Amino acid sequence: MSPLNIKKGSTKHSAYNLRSTFDDNLETHTLAVIVDNEPGVLARVIGLFSGRGYNIDSLTVAEIDHQGHHSRITIVTTGTPQIIEQIKAQLGRIVPVHDVHDLTVEGGSVERELALLKVAGTGEKRVEALRLADIFRAQVVDSTLESFVFQITGTPEKVDAFADLMRPLGLSEIARTGVAALARGE
């Protein structure tokens, strides 16, 4: 027997992994959910994801209509096409949810994320960090003799690429806002 008392020949998968294995084609979707701006709504939406074992890659929430008391929740999630459809259907059934849009399938959308990156370094590493920041159009929002804090806005892939280049130069901290997205056109 193994140290975890799992008998030989037993499955290695968790008993909690109840997702269908019919389709392993994972897709990333951006969902825009319009909800009432009241206490507990975000907890109910998040509870839907956690209760069913779905992952949230990014989450942003902000009030969009002060007089109508509406907020917009932008969720980036990954799953099979069946799971994505199930998520959209279940979100639509939550009482304070007014509208659910899958920006990934409804046509073009604009996605942006804001990140702050602290890069500590001196000498050549400091010069290289400034040069790369210029190429990525990142702004220096704070500077000391030992570090910079860069602000970068763009697609999540752009933020990831910038962070990957900053790691060998002394990236010590990163804070990301999550994806904000809007459909293009009318």
**Would you say residue 175 has pLDDT above 80?**
yes
Torsion of CA 77, 82, 87, 93, to 10 degrees: 160
Q: Could you tell me if 84 and 25 are in contact, meaning their C-beta atoms sit under 8 angstroms apart?
A: no
**Would you say residue 3 has pLDDT above 70?**
no
pTM of the model: 0.77
Provide the angle, in degrees to the nearest 10, between the axes of the packed helices 124-135 and 156-166: 170
Percent of the chain with pLDDT over 70: 88
Task: Give the domains, in start order, of the chain with CATH numbers.
Answer: 27-102 (3.30.70.260), 109-183 (3.30.70.1150)
Predicted pLDDT at 10 = 46
CA distance between the termini of the chain: 62
Q: What are phi and psi of 89, to 5 degrees?
A: -65, -40
Strands (E), 122-165: 139-143, 147-154
Mean pLDDT, residues 4-29 taken together: 60
Average pLDDT value over all residues in the chain = 88
Mean pLDDT, residues 97-118 taken together: 94
Which residue has better confidence, 58 or 18? 58
Q: Which residue has the tokens 């392993």?
A: 24
pLDDT band of residue 13 (cuts 50, 70, 90) is low
Predicted pLDDT at 1 = 43
- Token readout for 113 is 């994320």
